[in-house]
A and B are shown apart, each in its own frame.
Chain A
Amino acid sequence: MEKKGFFSRLKEGLAKTRQNITEKMDLLFKYHNEVNDELFDELEEVLILADVGVNTTTRLIEKVRERVREERIREAQRVRAVLKEEILALLSQPQELNLRFPAVFLVVGVNGVGKTTTIGKLAHMFQSQGRKVLMAAGDTFRAAAIEQLEVWANRVGCQIVRHTEGADAAAVVFDAIQAAKSRGIDLLICDTAGRLHTKKNLMNELEKINRIIEREYPEAHKEVFLVLDATTGQNAVSQAKMFKEKVNVTGIILTKLDGTAKGGIIIAVKSELGIPIRYIGVGEGMDDLQPFDAEAFVEALFEEA
């Protein structure tokens, strides 16, 4: 299978993102040689249009202003570098994703963000690394969700544990854990039904699934991935907050970065909640998943068009 390097794929996926932001940035810096209020206003506009959000944008701009003052920066170009540094500082991971096997991933998120597709991609990624992967069809609610995951299991050639539509999702996960143990599985990935973070009952159901994993599979390394859609605006922060509260999200996967949405919301999510971003989705194919690299992300974002 053809493999492209991370940078080229990331850049491909981010081509649009980069274009949008950097085009604006370039335009901006062409017009501004001086550092003045107008420059900051326009920087603010660029960030807000990228969905970074008012709070985080204000904080970033304040920080840059402060540094401009302290470091006596006189050139608009230099201001850009400082802003880049500040975003990078916000995005820097607290730690690497150190996976241990056997491992179990619980994949959660609101409706339609790309959970099932991402699970297909993750399974493919780990199978290619020689890991034995098992999927648990934990979305027993949405019509044909089980079939959708099954197609992915066939595509990537991994195993799957499924019940029927309407079955208890926790029971599916329970069975999958037993299967993972007895079949010597390296990585169990559990799909879940999309749910709005504001639906109490559904969030409680998720909590229950999470508890079952903890109770039944304590020896496994556990990751809870929240899938966020790059097209989402400020609501992503609320999503992250609630999911974190309920199931202790350990990492974020940002999907659909191949569109024109700039994905700036992860900057807000990281800054406000400290949840590390682990992977990004840049398409619908099984290769379209990349480990998140803050530096590459910011570089690509600010690269000259």
Chain B
Amino acid sequence: MAFEGLTGKLQAALKKLTGKGKLSEKDVKEAMRDVRLALLEADVNFVVVKDLINRITQRAVGQEIMESLTPGQQVIKIVNEELTALMGGTQSKINMAPNPPTVIMMVGLQGSGKTTTSAKLAGYLKKQGKSPLLVACDIYRPAAIKQLQVVGEKVGVPVFERGQVDPVEIAREAVEFAKKQQRDVVIIDTAGRLHINEELMEELSRIKAQVKPHEILLVVDAMTGQDAVNVAKSFDERLGLDGVILTKLDGDTRGGAALSIKAVTGKPIKFVGMGEKLDDLEPFHPNRMASRILGMGDILTLIEKAQASIDEKKAQELEKKLREQQFTLEDFLDQLQQLKKIGSINDIVSMLPGVDVQKLSASGALNEKELIKAEAIIQSMTPEERRNPSIINASRKRRIAMGSGTTIQDVNRLLKSFEQFRHMMKQMSNIEKAMKRGRFKFPFL
């Protein structure tokens, strides 16, 4: 995950706080120093960080925290709230024109990913029943038009181009063309340019004046450093942005630019690019990201989801069993079925604090198919075997494998991962204990 690095850092910074009885002003200040470093290392803009830290420190030091039973929880809550507020609400919507065509203009620095993102967006809107038209207004970069044509074809969206003529004219003709051809969305791919290039910024203003776009989207590389705010500010001042699309978030960048841009321009991040494939465009979830950055994973969301989908009483029983180390394969099966209701196992595990998703994925532990297999295997066991897996000897394994249509290795693997799971949940229960079982509950565990 993109924010994993930052998550790790913050987690380390905040760990010092959890489990402590009371917080002194010094404690908070010290923790905030670490949080500050973590944010800066994540490329969050210096000024934004300063602001954020001040706000959080002000809130954290004093009554609110000092009188609370679990000060650590309080601080985490405050940091979480501040980060969420900073990044704004969920807004992965495109302003659609009352009278089509809706005109969308894609702008940004060189190499930020405009062309690919234009095609992704076209594909995304097409899936929603729209009939988009892509427009090649990058007349400068060699083969840029060709690139748009290729990706346009891949998503099955026509591309309007006029070669290397004035982009303002191309844009104008394209909108005319769209009207005639009943295309209801026009996506204009413009050339990458520096925000300080007067001539080229003027060109964008002229395109804007000509076609009056309903939506001007700034495409920003998630790996951008401190300069992100300057870029976003310049484009916004010049054109009036409607939103931002963050690209290349599938790497290991901590993505602090996301925080900064929102804070500085107030413009929502509407989508994120998660890969080179043309369907790797996803809505941006500020709250989820904020929780992630916090290093508490998406625990808050997870709890909500879990509470909505899991029988409270059953969950409490389970929790008790777990605490008393009586957790069996029967419960494991039950858990698997419960988990499926919440979401994909990857989603869930990535929300858990302190779990290295990449490592787990690599080990194959998070494979959805494996889980289906696991379910089948457990279902082929006798109730006794489920309660007491230690009795499962070689001949029982053979029978279980046969019954579930798997192999003995599969059965062995399952038994092993059950042990791991049990271990993991034991850790979770410890974390929970550390949090003094206040508001944070893990009913499904």
* With A16-B196, A110-B251, A198-B252 as contacts: A232 and B140 at CB distance below 8 Å: no
In the complex, per-residue mask of B107-149: 1 if CB is within 8 Å of any chain A CB, else 0: 0011111000000000000000000000000001111101101
What residues on B are CB-neighbors of A236 within 8 Å? 223
Say whether B112 contacts A112, CB under 8 Å: yes
Say whether A235 contacts B254, CB under 8 Å: yes
A114 contacts B by Cβ under 8 Å? yes
What residues on A are CB-neighbors of B347 within 8 Å? none
A197 to B250, CA, bound (A): 10
B256 contacts A by Cβ under 8 Å? yes
Most central of A54, A232, A234 by chain B CB within 10 Å: A234
B224 contacts A by Cβ under 8 Å? yes
Most central of B227, B250, B251 by chain A CB within 10 Å: B227
What residues on A are CB-neighbors of B92 within 8 Å? none
* With A16-B196, A234-B41 as contacts: A143 and B112 at CB distance below 8 Å: no
A43 contacts B by Cβ under 8 Å? no
A141 to B276, CA, bound (A): 10
Min CB gap B257→A, angstroms? 7
B40 contacts A by Cβ under 8 Å? yes
Min CB gap B398→A, angstroms? 36
Interface set, chain A 187-209, CB cutoff 8 A to B: 196-198
Min CB gap B304→A, angstroms? 31
Most central of A51, A151, A155, A229 by chain B CB within 10 Å: A229
- Contact of A233 (CB < 8 Å), options: B37, B141, B251, B256: B256
Give the segment of A169-177, A256-264, A269-277, A290-298 that binds chain B. A256-264
* With A51-B226, A233-B226, A235-B251 as contacts: A148 and B141 at CB distance below 8 Å: yes
B69 contacts A by Cβ under 8 Å? no
In the complex, per-residue mask of B21-51: 1 if CB is within 8 Å of any chain A CB, else 0: 0000000000000000100111100100000
Say whether B252 contacts A48, CB under 8 Å: no
Say whether B112 contacts A234, CB under 8 Å: no
B150 contacts A by Cβ under 8 Å? yes
* With A111-B276, A151-B142 as contacts: A142 and B147 at CB distance below 8 Å: yes
A49 contacts B by Cβ under 8 Å? yes
B306 contacts A by Cβ under 8 Å? no
What residues on A are CB-neighbors of B143 within 8 Å? 144-145, 147-148, 150-151
A113 contacts B by Cβ under 8 Å? yes
In the complex, per-residue mask of A206-233: 1 if CB is within 8 Å of any chain B CB, else 0: 0000000000000000000000010111
B215 contacts A by Cβ under 8 Å? no
Min CB gap A287→B, angstroms? 16
B294 contacts A by Cβ under 8 Å? no
B253 contacts A by Cβ under 8 Å? yes
What residues on B are CB-neighbors of A260 within 8 Å? 194-196, 227, 230-231
What residues on B are CB-neighbors of A48 within 8 Å? 40, 46, 226
Min CB gap B45→A, angstroms? 8
Say whether B150 contacts A259, CB under 8 Å: no
A25 contacts B by Cβ under 8 Å? no
Say whether A112 contacts B194, CB under 8 Å: no
Say whether A284 contacts B140, CB under 8 Å: yes
Residue of B nearest to A114 (CB): B111
Could you tell me which B residues sit within 8 Å of A by CB distance? Answer: 37, 40-43, 46, 109-113, 140-144, 146-147, 149-151, 154, 194-196, 221, 223-228, 230-231, 248, 250-254, 256-257, 276
8 closest A-B pairs by CB: A233-B225, A112-B111, A151-B142, A233-B43, A143-B150, A144-B147, A148-B143, A147-B143
